[in-house]
């Protein structure tokens, strides 16, 4: 009787500890970052039901991604990595596209409960919150303190990089697996057991499900960690002299786990690129960070109005050029480097990670104030030569997300050093720092796009002939064409995706040539197109009109043998 009573007490104590851990480690940080997100993006919360939290360019492409992933799996019961609904009739692989299978899977389950606009907004909000939470876990593991870790998580998830890419690059704001990988990797290096070696491989696979760039960033950060842990690993090897394969076996298990989790996505990408090269990669010399962009407020910062003379002259587009870290965060990170001994934390790893990621983010050519100062001689040039697959990305500026993570961890070390002074002034200093950090990182109004249902999409969906369409309703916005496809639900010619195989572009040229030469019968007979959607000022008078409104006409292509 006494033993059963003690067993019940132990179970209650364990349950209470788990509940407290859940509240402190997940629920409270998640609630805090959710609240901060809606404060920083106010009045975005009032547009929850009627606007996508995205711009009307790449943001609408993300909405197409969610729609296609659900359609492929739930309705068509096929692999989502190939589609004939774009670039019809040939179709195209989507291995080179930013499809985000993990987000797509989440979207399927959320779509059972919520309408599509809320699903999109939940995912965007969740990306900010999850990035903050995983960065908080990492900072807490490094510093061993709670409040400094919360501040470090805030500094990472609300950095300029995150707000700049939130407008249209859902795959890049899904950066939560980067701090999570570093956390589980450091835990493994601290104690290399078989139980801990599987987690980094799994997290690496999850990173691949967000964006292939994150796999490279994780591996880069992991290699830097191994270099700094070599003395510790050597000591562990000496402790197991009777087991010479103690460490190699564990690292081998990690490699196998990583290949199992990442291989199904990365290997087909490389095979496709070798057999049918992708086109559409960015110019790395253009899509690079400027030497001063990490330290000068950019276009997505409220302070950017005072620094327009700097960022308006940068080479790449606004979503890539803003990698502002926050001068208050950088200052606290410097303080953390100076005072790290008071926290008993080694900061060499984080300094190295910051320096390496900063140098690589500058790309192959050093730019300052938008002007090239060198030839292609920067470290990224050597790295691209060593790893040719990097050319598929071509956006070195995105490596600055690693810089933001390293600086946020160092800032949490600085806050921990202030907390360790155990004086009433410490609370005043930390409160002042938090206030200035929030002001420093405050963004301009968040981009949003209204949910619209153009009448012509409903008409096109209900037209009797089954087949693909060629749409030019939004000539200057191919992402809007993708969004409209989710409404009229038919295969379409062309289609804006991240990377397109060469053979697909050649087939598109044939279709475009037929359209330009007026060979409309060939479009229907040879390629299977039945309707042509055009702006009203572009209508073709020799084709029958099946629908017309103030802006769009739908014309039926002639049947018969050309």
DSSP assignments along 348-408, one per residue: HHHHHHHHHHHHHHT-SS-EETTEE-S-S-SHHHHHHHH-GGGGGT--GGGGHHHHHHHHH
3-state secondary structure 206-245: HHHCCCHHHHHHHHHHHHHHHHHCHHHHHHHHHHCCCCCC
SS3 category, 80: coil
> 432-476 pLDDT, tens per residue?
999 999 999 999 999 899 999 999 999 999 999 888 999 988 878
> 118-137 pLDDT, tens per residue?
999 999 999 999 999 999 99
| Residue 526, phi then psi, degrees to nearest 5 | -90, -30
* Lowest-confidence pick of 79-88, 272-281, 323-332: 272-281
Per-residue pLDDT at 1: 53
Share of the chain above pLDDT 90, in %: 58
Q: Looking at residues 286-313, what average pLDDT do you find?
A: 88
Both tokens of 396, joined, read 């070195």
pLDDT band at 320 (very low <50, low <70, confident <90, very high): confident
* Lowest-confidence pick of 35-39, 218-222, 293-297, 381-385: 381-385
Q: How far apart are CA 289 and CA 126, in angstroms?
A: 27
Per-residue pLDDT at 468: 92
Considering the entire predicted model, what is its pTM? 0.93
Q: Contact, 278 vs 296, CB < 8 A?
A: no
Say yes or no to pLDDT of 53 above 50. Answer: yes
Say yes or no to pLDDT of 9 above 80. Answer: no
pLDDT band at 560 (very low <50, low <70, confident <90, very high): low
pLDDT band at 517 (very low <50, low <70, confident <90, very high): confident
Say yes or no to pLDDT of 312 above 90. Answer: no
pLDDT band at 369 (very low <50, low <70, confident <90, very high): confident
Q: Looking at residues 43-54, what average pLDDT do you find?
A: 92
Q: Looking at residues 481-509, what average pLDDT do you find?
A: 93
Per-residue pLDDT at 18: 76
Say yes or no to pLDDT of 419 above 60. Answer: yes
Q: How far apart are CA 474 and CA 371, in angstroms?
A: 35
Q: Contact, 260 vs 201, CB < 8 A?
A: yes
Both tokens of 335, joined, read 């303080």
> 219-235 pLDDT, tens per residue?
999 999 999 999 888 88
Q: Looking at residues 91-111, what average pLDDT do you find?
A: 93
Residue ranges covered by each domain of the chain: 452-556
pLDDT band at 240 (very low <50, low <70, confident <90, very high): confident
Per-residue pLDDT at 70: 96
> 339-351 pLDDT, tens per residue?
988 888 889 999 9
> 155-182 pLDDT, tens per residue?
999 998 999 999 888 989 999 999 999 9
Q: Contact, 478 vs 497, CB < 8 A?
A: no
Say yes or no to pLDDT of 336 above 80. Answer: yes
Per-residue pLDDT at 224: 95
Structural element, H or E, at residue 90: none
Q: How far apart are CA 455 and CA 233, in angstroms?
A: 65
Share of the chain above pLDDT 70, in %: 97
pLDDT band at 250 (very low <50, low <70, confident <90, very high): confident
Closest CA to 381 of 290, 314, 499, 288: 288
Per-residue pLDDT at 24: 85
Mean pLDDT of the chain: 90
Q: Is the dihedral of CA 422, 425, 429, 434 positive or negative?
A: positive
Per-residue pLDDT at 385: 83
Per-residue pLDDT at 562: 43
Q: Contact, 306 vs 533, CB < 8 A?
A: no
Both tokens of 233, joined, read 């690993």
């Amino acid at each position: 009787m006494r033993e059963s009573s003690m067993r019940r007490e132990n179970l209650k104590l364990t349950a209470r500890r788990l509940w407290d851990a859940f509240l402190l480690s997940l629920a409270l940080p998640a609630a805090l970052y959710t609240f901060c997100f809606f404060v920083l993006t106010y009045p975005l919360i009032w547009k929850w039901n009627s606007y996508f939290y995205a711009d009307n360019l790449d943001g609408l492409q993300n909405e197409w991604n969610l729609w296609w992933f659900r359609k492929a799996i739930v309705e068509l019961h096929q692999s989502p990595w190939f589609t004939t609904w774009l670039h019809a009739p040939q179709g195209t692989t989507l291995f080179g596209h930013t499809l985000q299978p993990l987000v797509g899977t989440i979207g399927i389950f959320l779509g059972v409960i919520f309408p599509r606009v809320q699903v999109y907004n939940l995912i965007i909000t969740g990306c900010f919150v999850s990035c903050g939470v995983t960065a908080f876990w990492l900072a807490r593991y490094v510093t061993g303190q709670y409040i400094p870790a919360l501040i470090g998580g805030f500094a990472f998830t609300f950095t300029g990089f995150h707000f700049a890419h939130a407008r249209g690059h859902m795959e890049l704001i899904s950066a939560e697996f980067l701090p999570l990988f570093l956390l589980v990797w450091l835990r493994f290096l601290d104690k290399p057991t078989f139980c801990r070696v599987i987690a980094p491989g799994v997290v690496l696979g999850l990173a691949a499900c967000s964006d292939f760039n994150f796999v490279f960033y994780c591996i880069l950060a992991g290699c830097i960690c191994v270099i700094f842990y070599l003395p510790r690993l050597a000591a562990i090897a000496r402790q197991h002299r009777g087991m010479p394969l103690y460490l190699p076996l564990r690292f081998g298990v990690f490699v196998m786990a990583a290949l199992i989790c990442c291989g199904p996505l990365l290997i087909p990408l490389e095979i496709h690129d070798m057999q049918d090269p992708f086109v559409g990669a960015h110019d790395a010399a253009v899509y690079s960070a400027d030497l001063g962009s990490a330290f000068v407020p950019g276009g997505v910062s409220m302070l950017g109005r005072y620094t327009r003379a700097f960022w308006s002259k940068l080479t790449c587009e606004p979503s890539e050029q803003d990698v502002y870290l926050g001068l208050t965060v950088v200052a606290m990170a410097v303080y953390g480097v100076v005072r790290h001994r008071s926290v008993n934390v080694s900061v060499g790893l984080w300094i190295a990670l910051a320096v390496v990621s900063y140098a690589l983010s500058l790309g192959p050519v050093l730019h300052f104030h938008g002007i090239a100062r060198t030839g292609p001689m920067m470290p990224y040039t050597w790295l691209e030569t060593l790893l040719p697959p990097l050319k598929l990305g071509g956006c070195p500026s995105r490596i600055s997300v690693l810089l933001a993570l390293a600086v946020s961890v160092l800032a949490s070390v600085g806050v921990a050093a202030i907390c360790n002074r155990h004086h009433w002034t410490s609370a005043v200093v930390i409160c002042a720092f938090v206030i200035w950090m929030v002001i420093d990182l405050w963004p301009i109004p968040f981009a949003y796009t209204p949910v619209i249902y153009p009448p012509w999409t409903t008409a096109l969906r209900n037209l009797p002939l089954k087949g693909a369409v060629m749409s030019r309703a939004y000539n200057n916005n191919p992402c809007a064409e993708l969004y409209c496809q989710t409404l009229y639900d038919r295969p379409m010619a062309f289609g804006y995706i991240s990377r397109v195989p060469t053979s697909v572009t050649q087939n598109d040229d044939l279709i475009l040539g037929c359209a330009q030469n007026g060979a409309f019968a060939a479009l229907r007979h040879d390629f299977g197109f039945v309707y042509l959607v055009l702006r009203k000022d572009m209508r073709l008078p020799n084709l029958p009109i099946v629908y017309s409104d103030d802006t769009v006409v739908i014309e039926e292509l002639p049947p018969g043998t050309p």
